[in-house]
Amino acid sequence: MWKRLLRHGLAWLAIAFALFPVLFVLGTSFNPANSVSTTRIVPARPTLGQYRTLFSEYEFPSWLWNSVKVAGVSATLSVSLCALGAYAFSRFRFRGRRAGLLTLLLVQMFPQTLAMVAIYMILLAIKEHLPWLGLGTHPGLILVYLGGAIGFNTWFMKGYFDTIPRSLEESALVDGATPFQAFLRIILPLARPILAVVFVIQFVAFYSEYLIASFVLKGESKIYTLAVGLYYMIDEHYTDRWGVFAAGAVLGALLILVVFYALQSQIISGLTGGAVKE
């Protein structure tokens, strides 16, 4: 009896601890006072004024669209490249295979932030020859994101591909399919859960990333992503733009909720499907 009450009490305490910041930001977005000092979970006179200000005085729609575009393209390309690499490491036996896997894992130990100066100089040099791919462009930011998203996800997908029986591909090859056709039409449909998991993980990471985007997207405010735009919106105005910032955070979080809800079944099966190797 007491153990059950203790478990339930700890569970509700954890839920309250997790929901408090969400309710705090949500209540702040409806607070008519645009100040930190008057912030409360349940405002006395809730209003939509902060949301109207967000759309009328700032380029919030452009920031949101830029984040969706950059995160969507980066996550899609990341899943595609990681799937090809993971399939090769899982199915083929070639010289340097083990060294390649270890190298991918070793590279992931060093975050991209350690190479920020080098990334900046490389993009600056690229801009002189390919202006659409250099500093201050979305393709340039996508290129940087892809460089840091391959290693761990390739390992992650390889573990899932190892659980798919080879006999399925062998049957397709006997029926006249090429190795790439077997991969495209047999393996990828079976690996849909892990593809969804990697896509969601990468989408959320790229969607909310600020540090790299802040020095790559130098230029007009219309090219900012959501994280960069919201930061510069409250830069040196933290005390008098807190409500508008909270409104932008709430609207930005809604998209993540939609993505998780749409892919929740695939995420669950993808996270558990590769846990046990048959």
Claim: this prediction has a pTM higher than 0.85: yes
If residue 40 lies in a helix (H) or strand (E), which one and from where to where?
none
In degrees to the nearest 10, what's the CA dihedral of 177, 181, 182, 187? -160
Tell me the C-alpha to C-alpha distance, in Å, between residue 54 and each of 21, 57, 62, 251: 21, 6, 12, 10
DSSP character string of 14-36: HHHHHHHHHHHHHHHHT-SS-SS
CB burial of residue 19 (10 Å; 0-12, 13-18, 19+): exposed
Tell me the C-alpha to C-alpha distance, in Å, between residue 129 and each of 115, 125, 146, 219: 22, 7, 21, 18
CB burial of residue 244 (10 Å; 0-12, 13-18, 19+): buried
The Cβ of residue 57 has, within 10 Å, a number of other Cβ atoms equal to: 10
Q: Which of 69, 50, 96, 92 is nearest to 183 (CA)?
A: 92
Angstrom distance (rounded) from CA 167 to CA 171: 6
59-273, what's its fold? MetI-like fold (1.10.3720)
pLDDT in tens, the chain (278 residues): 788 888 888 999 999 898 888 888 898 888 887 776 677 777 778 889 899 999 999 999 999 999 999 999 999 999 999 999 999 998 888 888 888 888 887 877 777 778 888 999 999 999 999 999 989 999 999 999 988 778 788 888 998 898 888 898 889 888 888 888 989 998 999 998 889 889 998 999 999 999 999 999 988 889 999 999 999 888 767 667 888 999 999 999 998 888 888 877 777 766 665 554 44
Per-domain boundaries in the chain: 1-47, 59-273
